[in-house]
Structure 1
Amino acid sequence: MKEKKGIGESIARLMKDPSSLLLVLISFALLFLFVIYPLVFVVFIPSAENWGTFFSKSRYGTALLNTMVSSSLSALLATIFGFIYAYAINYSNIAGKKFFRFIAFLPLLAPSVMSGLAFLLLFGRGGMVSQYLKTWFDIELDLYGLPGLLIVQTISYFPLAYMTITGVLRSISPNLEIAAQNLGARGFKLFRTITLKLALPGVLNAFLLVAINCFADFGNPKLIGGNYSLLAVEIYGEILNNEPGLASVMGIILVIPALLVFWVQNKLLSKGSYSTITGKPVSGLNRMTTSRKTDIALFTFNSLISLFIIAMFAITILFAFTKNFGRDNTFTLDHIMKVVFNPSSPAVMNSLVLSLISSILAVAFALVLAYVIVRKPFPGKGLLDFTAVLPIALPGTFVGLALIVAFSSGPIILQGSAVLIIVAMLLKQMPVGYRGLTASFKQIDKSIEEAATNLGADSRRTLTTIVFPMLQKTVVANFVYAFMKNMNTLSTIVFLITPKWVVAAVSIFNYAETGTYYWAAAVAVGLMAATLATLGVMKLIFRSKVKIFDF
């Protein structure tokens, strides 16, 4: 018997399953309220005068050009560094690979703004390295502006490129490389014609992912950009000046290159990766590794990157646990007690609570969305799918701007509430979980759920007793990712915080901007400790279901 199709039949089936109908309606309502409504609001709020102001003042054009240049260069450098770092770990015989994997994981624990803070402590006008060079070699070090921004964003986002590329390199079968070597390809020719070509889709994907993050970066440009103005910083200034219309214009302009990058990324991913069908691998087949000279070069490169990252964390810890490192090196817990454990400065605790709530809700919502879109036929499925992934293409600065503009007036006012911060965090992290869970749902045979339905289980019971246990590992992994990102987020929520709901990343930024570096460092250490402690508890609970400290 041929299965009936069409909108009418889809609606009829949905009406017979109240649980599914409720899930679909809730999904549409939430995405319309917190995605479509704010975006429409922010698009229509600017006046003709606001648009005229943007295009008539050269400073805004310069900020746009600077954003494009710095984001592209930072993404390029981070991708190159990430590739070399990953290649060294996967294709060489260097010692200390487990250590290098651990070092690449470290920056993920810290907010990106901590990179800017550490840069100031090391290379700022009063930084340790700057003072040493001035005292001993009479060299005035001035890295503010584009040079400093490139350094900080490269170090901040190279782990993202590394993780993307290392997965691609691991998946390349050694069969083709060995075959090419047997046919005469050696050294750089083998690398250029085989390895690099097979890894190219992953490399391009890493570049685009990093570029999207660089477009949205706010804290680092504000701290070390100097006179090198970027759009994200200009938007922040216009919000402080109570110019939401002009800020919205710049937000819309900022979204255009980000959406373009997102579109290109999706086009590349839709074509798939370059893969090799070689049949069953030969037993005991080992990947070809680099020469002794190349190993030395790769070990040196990874060591320098690791040294820089260790120096960033070390200087932050030293400032957190001394009275004023470099001037008074006396050990103290005063800074930690004042800004971490002081009830009047609850930034770290706020981050922990809000991140946990937002991450749980993000994964739950992603699970529901993936379930109804993959499993349930209903009108508007394509629209719901598009709206679900849209926030990942939008810079965090724009998402925060849209939420504060839309919900500071009108029928629903959420300005100043923790709800708006949770929503902002959820919107940025939910699409990642949704994509992963959608792929997982497609790998599960639908007949298992149909059998449960035939035995009388509705959608709610099927989802909680059949589907969720089968996807537990994916759900936990997405929760870990969302939690770490939420703990460290700044640009998405910088417009939304209030004196009651200040979070750790914003506190680090505020203290660094006012020059109280020891308090900024103390908050950064407290934030990382809270993140590590939470992940440790999760590791104890879920054990092998989640890999956090396995390098």
Structure 2
Amino acid sequence: MMAGARFWRKWTFWHWVTAVSLLVLAVVLVYPVGQLLIKSFVAKDGGFTLKNYVTFLSKRYYRLALTNSLWVCTVSTIIATAIGVPMAFLLTRYRLPGKPLIRTLIILSLLSPPFIGTYSWIVLLGRAGIITRAMEAIGITLPTIYGPRGIILVFSLHFFPYVYLFTSAALQSIDRSLEEAAANLGVNGWTRFRTVTLPLVLPAISAGALMAFMSALADFGTPQLIGEGFQLLPIAAYSEYMNEIGGNPGMAGALSMGLVVISAVALFLQRWVTRRSFSMSSLRPPEVVDLPLGRKILATAFCYLVVLVAILPQVVVVVSSFRKTKGPIFLSEFGLDNYITIFDRVPGAVANTFRLSTVAIVIMVIAGLLMAYVITRRRSAATAALDVMLLVPYVLPGTVIGIALVTAFNRPPLVLTGTATILILSYVIRKISYTVRSASSVLTSLDPSLEEASINLGVGPVASFFRVTAPLVFKGVLAGAVLSWVTTINELSSTIILYHAGTITMPVAIYSQVISDNFGLAAALSTILTLATVVSLWLFNKLAGKDSGLLM
């Protein structure tokens, strides 16, 4: 008894933070995923079986969903990389007119959900689309937006900013003396880029490409809206889950595990590609230079063309939201009818989106800051395990998390299915890593002596953390929090599985309106969602200061 009492007395506040964090993640993350994995090996009669996996790998329908997912996501990632890397190089190395505007438009094109872009391309290039009908009037028939071509178009244009952001950051951190040394040795142009610059930024390129691939793999709305029978794994898993409520969820579990395996393999390949890394002092950042007039015109035209095409869906959404409609057809008149109808028909969707996301972001900021601190400053086997557990959501698409949470919490002792709590849980699980990683990066560079000085002056360790350390890492936490917030209010993949009539959110409402051919209402909801994203970023820049760089 005495030994046990002494053991518990040795526990500090940070021991409890670590223990509670591990326990909570075990319950809300490891347990649901483990249950989903177990279900994938359970037969309808309750016995052990490999039939679900045999069916997955042998039935043509599921094999096509697997190969289609790999093919579409790989091609989209290659195209996104082919766009993002040149954009990053041109915008970091050369003086081009309107660079701040181009960079802002790139960020904004990323921060709306891809299914909104999908809806916009339907308005433009669908069977009755604006561009489609205009081209038909002059005798030109355009390829259909539906099927794999349309999915690849949407994914490539929506996810190339990931590659751009990672690559541009790496290019700006290169010490130019390395490239100057190569130039002095007679290595110029493409050869210098291939042999010196590219190896230095390859880890960043691969990280951006991995983000693009994982985001494309996890996306549910785009293939569902324009796939038209072209099956991908998230759609197959969702369909199997919806078809088997009350029956055998094993097939949905097997398909979900397929998504997890693909994500894990992609992460492993990215780590393997970047197994050799290079370090730089970055004391002399690359010089920004002028291009000859002809090349400058071509480079500027390329950058503006890419960003204008990428931002076009959001422009279409805003304009369409003010056009009157008759069924799925847009009329020439403009008005506020769509917005009036929204607040009359689905007012709860707007309120739910902000209510649920606000609760989730408060949890993410508080828990993320505490977990980041114990991971970086209180290192132990337990905090290392916590760090590893926080990596798990990176390889879990939203569809998988949604199915896992329903599988785990649809029966006693903890019934959460159909509640707002399960949606908040899914948001926190999926997005808290942004806050933790952002806060950890700032804590790593922060000198612990500031906190130690406070403790030496008689302020307790916990009080010193909240009075000294927390304010100093505020910007880092805020940067992660704003990304968590923006991606949470735009979340569809897990919400489509977890919501019920009382917790419908704007992304689900937009998806439902597009499916029902109510394009005007979908445009109005999308505009509200986009406006919320822009306002969130503006507030972040005001709070964090002009040096935050998010909209640079």
Match of 2:253 among 248, 255, 261: 248
Deviating more after overlay: 505-514 vs 185-194: 185-194
- 1:263 and 2:257 correspond: no
Q: For residues 154 and 227 of structure 2, what CA distance do their matches in structure 1 show?
A: 10
Of the three residues 34, 55, 58, the one matched with 2:60 is 58
In the alignment, is the contact (CA less than 8 A) between 1:476 and 1:545 conserved in 2? no
Q: Tell me which residue corresponds to 2:305.
A: 304
Give yes or no for the alignment of 1:294 onto 2:318: no
Counterpart position of 1:369: 371
Give how far 1:471 is off: 0.7
Task: Work out whether residues 108 and 159 of structure 1, in 8 Å CA contact, stay in contact via their aligned partners in 2.
Answer: yes
* Residues in 2 aligned to 1:473 and 1:270: alpha-carbon distance in whole angstroms: 31
**Alpha carbons of 1:266 and 1:452: their partners in 2 closer, same or farther (altered >3 Å)?**
farther
| SS of equivalent residue, structure 1 residue 324 | strand
Q: Does 1:332 align with 2:326?
A: no
Corresponding residue pairs, total? 536
Please give the per-residue CA displacement for 1:472-522, whole angstroms capped at 9, x wherever unaligned: 110111111111111111113221111111111111111112211111111
How far apart in 1 are the matches of 2:177 and 2:142?
Answer: 53
**Cα-to-partner distance string for 1:31-71 (whole Å, 9 max, x where unaligned):** 11111110110000122243343234210011001001111
Q: Distance in 1 between matches of 2:35 and 2:203?
A: 37
CA distance in 2, matches of 1:518, 1:130: 19
Q: Could you tell which deviates more after superposition, 113-122 or 448-457? A: 448-457
Residue 43 (1) aligns with residue 44 (2): no
Check conservation: 1:79, 1:158, Cα contact below 8 A.
Answer: yes
| Structure 2: distance between partners of 1:16 and 1:270 | 40
Aligned partners of 1:137 and 1:525: how far apart in 2? 33
Write the letter of the residue equivalent to 2:299: L
Structure 2 residue identity aligned to 1:229:
Q
Residue matched to 1:23? 17
User: Counterparts of 1:195-210 in structure 2 under 5 Å?
Assistant: 195-210=197-212
User: Secondary structure of the residue that 1:528 maps to in structure 2?
Assistant: helix
- Sort the Cα spacing of 1:494 and 1:222 in 2 relative to 1 into closer, same or farther, 3 A: same
CA shift for structure 1 position 260: 1.4
1:366-445, aligned counterparts within 5 Å? 366-376=368-378, 378-445=380-447
State how far apart, in whole Å, the 2-side matches of 1:491 and 1:287 are: 41
Aligned partner of residue 519 in structure 1, secondary structure: helix
Tell me the equivalent position of 1:181.
Answer: 183
Tell me, yes or no, if the aligned pair for 2:437 and 2:480 is still in contact at 8 Å.
no
> 1:36 is matched by which residue type in structure 2?
V
Report deviation, 1:323. 0.4
Higher mean alpha-carbon deviation, 17-26 vs 538-547, is at 538-547
Residue aligning to 2:95: 93
Query: Please, what TM-score do these two structures have when normalized by structure 2?
Result: 0.90
Offset at 1:386? Answer: 0.9
Write the distance in 1 (CA, Å) between the matches of 2:63 and 2:308. Answer: 38
For residues 84 and 264 of structure 1, the distance between their equivalents in structure 2, rounded to whole angstroms, comes to 23
Task: Check the 8 A contact 2:80/2:156 in 1, yes or no.
Answer: yes
Aligned pairs for 1:106-185 (under 5 A) are 106-185=108-187
- Provide the alpha-carbon RMSD of the alignment: 2.5
1:161-196: CA deviation from partner (whole Å, max 9, x where unpaired): 111111011112222223333333333233323332
Residue equivalent to 1:6: none
Distance of 1:189 and 1:538 partners within structure 2: 41
CA distance in 1, matches of 2:333, 2:463: 60
Match for 2:538: what amino acid? G
Q: Secondary structure at the match of 2:284?
A: coil
CA distance in 2, matches of 1:244, 1:457: 54
Amino acid at match of 1:25: A
Whether the 8 Å CA contact 1:108–1:484 is kept in 2: the answer is no
Cα distance, 1:202–1:328 mapped onto 2, change above 3 Å: same
Cα distance in 2, alignment partners of residues 162 and 43 from structure 1: 36
User: Is the CA contact (8 Å cut-off) linking 2:323 and 2:330 kept in structure 1?
Assistant: no
Could you tell me which residue of structure 1 aligns to residue 45 of structure 2?
none
SS at match of 1:226: coil
Counterpart in the other structure of 2:354: 352
Q: What's the CA shift for 1:147?
A: 0.8
TM-score w.r.t. structure 1 length?
Answer: 0.91
1:404 and 1:496 in contact (8 A); partners too: yes
1:496 to 498, 502, 509: 498
- Asked if the contact 2:330–2:520 (Cα under 8 Å) also holds between the matched residues in 1, the reply is no
Residue 437 and residue 513 in structure 1: after superposition, are their counterparts in 2 closer, same or farther (change >3 A)? same
Shift in Å at residue 107 of structure 1?
1.6
Residue type at the aligned position of 1:511: Q
Aligned partner letter, 1:29:
L
Distance change in 2, residues 1:258/1:502 (3 Å) = same
Helix, strand or coil at the partner of 1:328: strand
Task: Name segments (4+ residues, structure 1) moved above 6 Å.
Answer: 11-14
Q: Which runs of 5+ in 1 are unaligned?
A: 1-8
Shift in Å at residue 542 of structure 1? 4.6
Q: Secondary structure of 2:95's match?
A: coil
**For 1:98 and 1:133, how far apart are their aligned partners in 2?**
34
SS at match of 1:323: strand
AA matched with 1:20? W
Q: In the TM superposition, what whole-angstrom CA distance separates every residue of 1:335-378 from its partner, at most 9, and x where no partner exists? A: 11222x34743222221222222122112212111222333355
Using a 3 Å threshold, how does the CA distance of structure 1 residues 245 and 360 change in structure 2: closer, same or farther? same
Distance 2:197 2:174 in 1: 8
Asked whether 1:317 is paired with 2:311, we answer no
8 A Cα contact 1:130 1:141, kept in partner: no
CA contact (8 A) 1:363 1:479 kept: yes
Offset from partner CA, 1:84-114 (integer Å, 9 cap, x none):
1112211233322122112101123311211
Measure how far apart 1:152 and its partner are.
Answer: 0.3
Return the alpha-carbon distance in structure 2 between the equivalents of residues 333 and 125 of structure 1. 26
